[in-house]
Structure 1
């Protein structure tokens, strides 16, 4: 399973909300070009940390576009629209 799909499953499972929030913040930062404090990665359990590293690797090489799109849809479904600057 690729990283975007795994993170989407973490989100949908509802468990470890604090740790999943770090992954969601990372995915948003990658998608929208926002800043991300990498120090937060050191505070999460290894399985979430590994998923974060894999997501960054996939994002960099533009792999798994469809799963990444579904992850973004999941993120957008739980946030208010971003204000226009």
Structure 2
């Protein structure tokens, strides 16, 4: 493995760790709560609605707002937290792709032979 490849790998690792530090302490808390709710009581009306929300987010399909409004306050707040975390996760993934592309581009520049224009 070339020194530039090692540098690229180290830079990607540092970037991933930095983003995890930014979002890590809070990220996925609501998603974990939702998973526990659904696994512990899959026939519960609130669990069904939360599961439908997750499936709608993943498939980018529709979900009735009336279903969300039928949730009690605690579960409605959970639904809002899931929406927020899902949105943050999309930004997190986009940032990782941007970091990857930027690092690869920089590595290509660094590996190119030094040519001076006369």
Deviation at 1:38, TM superposition (A): 1.2
Q: Which runs of 5+ in 2 are unaligned?
A: 1-27, 93-118
Identify the structure with bigger relative contact order (alpha carbons < 8 Å, sequence gap 6+).
1
Q: CA RMSD in A?
A: 2.1
Q: Equivalent of 1:45, from 72, 79, 92?
A: 72
Matched pairs, number: 64
**Length-normalised TM-score, structure 2:** 0.49
1:9-48 to 2 correspondence within 5 Å? 9-14=36-41, 17-48=44-75
Q: Bigger radius of gyration, 1 or 2?
A: 2
- Name the structure with the higher helix share: 2
**Length-normalised TM-score, structure 1:** 0.67
Runs of 4 or more off by more than 2 Å in structure 1?
A: none
Distance 1:46 1:16, change over 3 A: farther
